[in-house]
Amino acid sequence: MSNQILKGKNGIIFGALDEKSIAWKVAELSNQEGANLILTNAPIALRMGTINKLSESINAPIIPADATSMDDLTQLYSSALNHFSGKIDFVLHSIGMSVNVRKGKPYYNQNYDWTKKGMDVSAMSFHKTIKAAWDLDALNEYASILGLSYIAAQRVFNSYNDMADNKALLESIARSFGYHYGLKKNVRINTISQSPTLTTAGSGVSGFDGFYRFANDLSPLGNASAEDCAKYCITLFSDYTRKVTMQNLFHDGGFSSMGMSDKVMENYTKSLK
């Protein structure tokens, strides 16, 4: 059921690791909607994941790039400009990683070298991704850049740890760079704050299952899946959202506006009996 709303647009998708990745679903749907795509990921992820399968199925080349490296990113955009024989209309930054989370260091006892690494990968890379495109003037007018965030940027979710700070920075970069790129070339920059989603990065957070079920029970529409997220991304890449910029957009089944739901209350009361 395609509406071809991205017909003729050129896009770069960062972060498809395996079939569960949000970026994987976004790539599939963008392709169905008529976009020409380039897939990219860190060289190590290309060895560990299954991105080749996606590349074949949607006929999109893979260009490796570590999103923390300006050299890699410049090389990526230069190759993309050649490949498309034209400029780029949308970019998805779907990248996140915290070494402290992976290795179980609590927020109050971080290893600061790991904190720096996580911040570089999860947030600074968003700035670099935008800056590399800016320097090469690689984007078309009204191009759309999207990053993926989580509500821990605004509220405490204990086990999300230093990723909360990384997401707060990511959302701030969307606003700050959104101003400059908007003035320069009407380029839009937004973040989507997505429900907990069953992916490799998601399930790395301790207690993720409880997290996931609680959010599902609290949200009147239930959690948004990776497929749902892909649909929302498509609207934001399209020409129907040309004046949406510098926003953090909640895509969470209503979670962010809730305090208490019947379902959560019922479970909580049950557990007290």
Q: Rounded to whole angstroms, how far apart are CA atoms 116 and 94?
A: 19
In angstroms, what is the minimal distance from the CB of 132 to ligand NAD? 13
In angstroms, what is the minimal distance from the CB of 56 to ligand NAD? 17
In angstroms, what is the minimal distance from the CB of 49 to ligand NAD? 7
Q: Rounded to whole angstroms, how far apart are CA atoms 147 and 194?
A: 10
Residue closer to ligand NAD (CB basis): 188 or 251? 251
Residue closer to ligand NAD (CB basis): 178 or 196? 196
In angstroms, what is the minimal distance from the CB of 269 to ligand NAD? 28
In angstroms, what is the minimal distance from the CB of 183 to ligand NAD? 26
Residue closer to ligand NAD (CB basis): 103 or 273? 103
Instruction: Please report the DSSP string for 128-185 in residue order.
Output: HHHHHHHHHT-EEEEEEEEEEE-GGGTS--GGGTTHHHHHHHHHHHHHHHHHHHHHHH
In angstroms, what is the minimal distance from the CB of 251 to ligand NAD? 9
Which residues pair with residue 39 across a beta bridge? 13, 62
CB atoms within 10 A of CB 231: 15
Residue closer to ligand NAD (CB basis): 172 or 186? 172
Residue closer to ligand NAD (CB basis): 48 or 265? 48
Q: Which residue has the tokens 């050649």?
A: 82
> Which among 90, 65, 68, 87 is positioned nearest to 76, based on CA atoms?
65
> Which among 181, 194, 182 is positioned nearest to 249, based on CA atoms?
194
CA angle 21, 26, 31 (to 5 degrees): 130
Residue closer to ligand NAD (CB basis): 143 or 226? 226
The residue ranges that bind ligand NAD (CB under 6 A) are 14-15, 17, 21-23, 41-42, 45, 66-68, 94-97, 121, 148-150, 194, 196-197, 199-202
